[in-house]
Amino acid sequence: MPKHQVWYKILELDELPEGRVKAKAAGVHTLCVTRLDGQYAALSNKCPHQGGPLGEGSIENGMLRCPWHGWDYHPTTGAPPDGYGDCVPTFPVEVREDGVYVAIEEDAPHETTVTDIMAETLTNWGVRSVFGMVGHSNLGLADALRRQSKAGRLRYFGIRHEGAAAFACSAYGKLTGRPAACLSIAGPGATNLLTGLWDANVDRAPAIALTGQVDTQVLGPGAFQEIDLAGAFGTVAQWSQTVLQTSKHAELVNLACKSAILNRGVSHLIFPDEVQTLPAPEGATAGQPDGRMTSRAIAPPEESVAAAVAMLEKAERPVMIVGHGARFDMPAIVKFAERLNCPIITTFKGKGLVSDQHELGCGVLGRSGTPIASWFMNESDVLLVLGASFSNHTGITPKKPTIQVDYDAMALGKFHAIDVPVWGEIATTMAVFNKRLAKGTAAIDQRPEIASRWEIWRTEKQRRRGDDRGKGVNSASIFRALSEHAPDDAILAVDVGNNTYSFGRYFECTQQSVLMSGYLGSIGFSLPAAMGAWAATQEEDPRFKGRKVISVSGDGGFGQYMAELLTLVKYDMNITHVLVRNNELGKISKEQRAGDWEVWETNLHNPSFAEYAKICGAHGLQVNSADDLDAALVEAIAHNGPSLVEIVADAELI
């Protein structure tokens, strides 16, 4: 039975000059269209030799020449010279009153491929967002993702640099506890993912990397864009596998998702080009998480509980220090703190986990912190540390009696010995402690002292807002204004640098969620991270749906991924970027001075970022005076779409 033909208009009547050739699309097919001696013809665009694009060739001496290797074919019949070799397939052409038409036989129904099965498995595991760049070595996989996107099962975001895709995935995982995916081609596309994936790795965020690869038949000798991707990703991926023809394809995705979620890290799947379009085996079905996951509410060992409870019963001035690892356990933590009436301090990565308006909240400890937090730590007689490390940036003293609780046994006592290391899921452990301390403790009520310390610090912040050297707005004023105008439930992605230290000191959290590049400390994090957070707000998860997303960076950080402002505009992402501009890498200048070095090469040449935002299609505002801060932030945050507030700031008033 003959196939049905579909006619497509491919040219206007005067579009193709005599003796010329052009590549034109007919549906999903690309054809080589020629005109010779007044006759139009449509041929396959692929040279039978090595698939060269004939539509990019030329007609020389009456013959169509392939641009890759110079093979010749007749421009209208597709026949090779002297009749030797393969012919180029041709298609029926009609010249009508309104243009030139070509007939294409309708495509056969799509045959399910192994990547179709794998993409469906990803969505079954709850992967709802993919960030990446489509390219020549991931086209089969990209088409499978396209089909899932068309079915409404995931959203795809085409970024301008693969590094942004990885940072977006990292931030999404930190915020939600679920993995998003990032897509790249082989070679340089894959290596561009590494920085953002290292951010996910060190901050224990689930993420899935999907990288194309050259054909397996040319893998090894050094094909174009060939890189040993398993070796290149090394320990950044806690799980990495190459997809082969004989693989159990759905099972690979099951393991990738399970590993990313349970190990809180990066899973990596490598897709050789030719494997991506293989037909799925007969009867193959997509994988799913049912029966593959267990509850992680694991109680701590009795010996550890008894030792911790004994310390807490006697403590008069206990203090709780909460880190990023406890971000999903805060209701249980706050309940326990209220039982003890003790201060709750956070690490910098944990900023915002407890509201600064809560009567027990004491802000951030360490270099970016408040004097309130350091004062209470120094006055404590027991520290209860939850989901935090003791790295030098946290500022947690090793000199106090300490109980450390963590779901990761290797994190316990990682940097020095701890009095009582407790291995257990944090919320479950808090419930156990609460029950075991039912008879009460010796703890005093520290709430009056907390209120007094906040009053002292807020008075000091107000004094700093009056500082003016005539060189820009001071940071105390910038983050006072942002504290007042950011919605209470906003999600804030914060970069690195002096802007970050100032945010830690001066911004007062209500119920906002804060995202940052914690252990990696990677400049440029905030704008791509905001993209990941915004993707989460478009999903059905009630924890995040509809929340405002705000990105905060300096001019150095924004310069790393400023092209992603175009991505925000393309997908109409309702993100406000607050750009603290001081025309230098201020943190590095400060470090050079502190080390008795000459300040060298930290100055920055900048455009008007507000005008740049407008050119990109976003809403742009510039602030040169503290008097204009409030109005500009209100306008930008209220704008329904991408917006940027460029604040000219004093590099020394931080």
Q: Assess if residue 271 is contained within a domain.
A: yes
Q: Does position 2 have pLDDT exceeding 80, yes or no? A: no
Task: Indicate whether this model's pTM tops 0.85.
Answer: yes
Confidence class of residue 223 from pLDDT cuts 50, 70 and 90? confident
Residue 411 lies in a domain: yes
- Domain limits at 576? 465-648
Could you give the CA distance from residue 587 to residue 595 in angstroms, rounded to a whole number?
12
Does residue 540 sit in the same domain as residue 391? Answer: no
Model confidence band, residue 260 (pLDDT cutoffs 50, 70, 90): very high
Within-domain flag for 146? yes
CATH number of the domain that residue 42 is part of: 2.102.10.10
Question: Residue 336: how many CA atoms within 13 Å on its side-chain side?
Answer: 28
**Residue 96: Cβ within 10 Å count:** 10
Tokens of 584: 């230098």
CB within 8 A of 84, min separation 6: which ones? none
Domain co-membership, 271 together with 129 = yes
Tell me the per-residue pLDDT of 287-335, one tens digit each, with 9 for 90 and over.
999 999 999 888 999 999 999 999 999 999 999 999 999 999 999 999 9
Same domain, residue pair 627 and 493: yes
Residues 484 and 625 in one domain: yes
Distance between CA atoms of residues 5 and 90, nearest Å: 14
Query: Could you tell me if residue 309 is inside a domain?
Result: yes
- The answer as to whether 532 is a domain residue is yes
Show the tokens assigned to 94. Answer: 């009609």
Residue 64 has pLDDT above 60, yes or no: yes
CA distances from 598 to 317, 471, 588, 601 (A): 45, 21, 11, 10
What span, in angstroms and rounded, lies between the C-alpha atoms of 140 and 154? 17
Confidence of residue 82 (pLDDT cuts 50, 70, 90): confident
Identify the weakest region by mean pLDDT among 72-86, 114-128, 620-634.
72-86
Q: What residues pair up with 621 in beta bridges, in sequence order?
A: 645
Residue with tokens 């008879």: 439
- CA-based torsion, 306, 310, 311, 316: positive or negative: positive
Domain count, the chain: 4
Same domain, 120 and 78: no
Domain final residue pick, 394, 412, 447: 447
pLDDT tens column, 163-176: 999 999 999 999 99
Same domain, 124 and 84: no
Domain end, chosen from 105, 125, 145, is at 105
Here the tokens at position 395 are 């500022």
Are 572 and 476 in the same domain? yes
Q: Which residues pair with 211 in a beta bridge?
A: 184, 270
Residue 571 counted as domain residue: yes
Distance of alpha carbon 434 from alpha carbon 205, whole angstroms: 29
CATH of the domain at 471: 3.40.50.970
Contact 186, 242 (CB under 8 A): no
CA atoms within 13 A on the CB side of 487: 14
Query: pLDDT for 261-284, tens place per residue?
Result: 999 999 999 999 999 999 999 999
Report the b/e string of 417-456 with b at 16+ CB within 10 A.
ebebbbbbbbbbbbbbbeeebeeebebeebeebbeebbee
* Cα atoms in the 13 Å half-sphere on the side-chain side of 306: 3
Which helix (H) or strand (E) segment is 312 a member of?
helix 302-314
Q: Considering the domain boundaries, does residue 459 fall inside one?
A: no
Q: Do 432 and 493 share a domain, yes or no?
A: no
With a CB cutoff of 8 Å and minimum separation 6, the contacts of 351 are 363, 364, 504, 509, 514, 516
* Three-class DSSP labels, 168-237: HHHHHHHHHCCCCEEEECCCHHHHHCHHHHHHHHHCCCCEEEEEEECCHHHCCCCCCCCCCHHHHHHHHE
Among 417, 447, 477, the domain boundary falls at 447
Q: Report the 10 Å Cβ neighbour count for 185.
A: 24
Q: Six-digit token pair at 500? A: 């970050």
Same domain for 93 and 194: no
Is 70 exceeded by the pLDDT of residue 1?
Answer: no
**Percent of the chain residues topping a pLDDT of 90:** 89
Claim to verify: residue 469 and residue 536 sit in the same structural domain: yes
Q: How confident is the model at residue 108 (pLDDT cuts 50, 70, 90)?
A: confident
Pair 32, 45: CB distance under 8 Å: yes
**What is the pLDDT averaged over residues 470-478?**
96
Let me know how long the chain is: 654
Q: CA 13, 15, 18 angle in degrees (round to 5)?
A: 90
Specify whether 516 is located in the same domain as 631.
Answer: yes
According to the model, what pLDDT value does residue 405 have?
97
Question: Does residue 218 surpass a pLDDT of 70?
Answer: no
Q: Are 26 and 157 in a shared domain?
A: no
CATH code for the domain of 398: 3.40.50.1220
Task: Tell me, yes or no, whether 336 lies in a domain.
Answer: yes
Strands 318-322 and 344-346: parallel
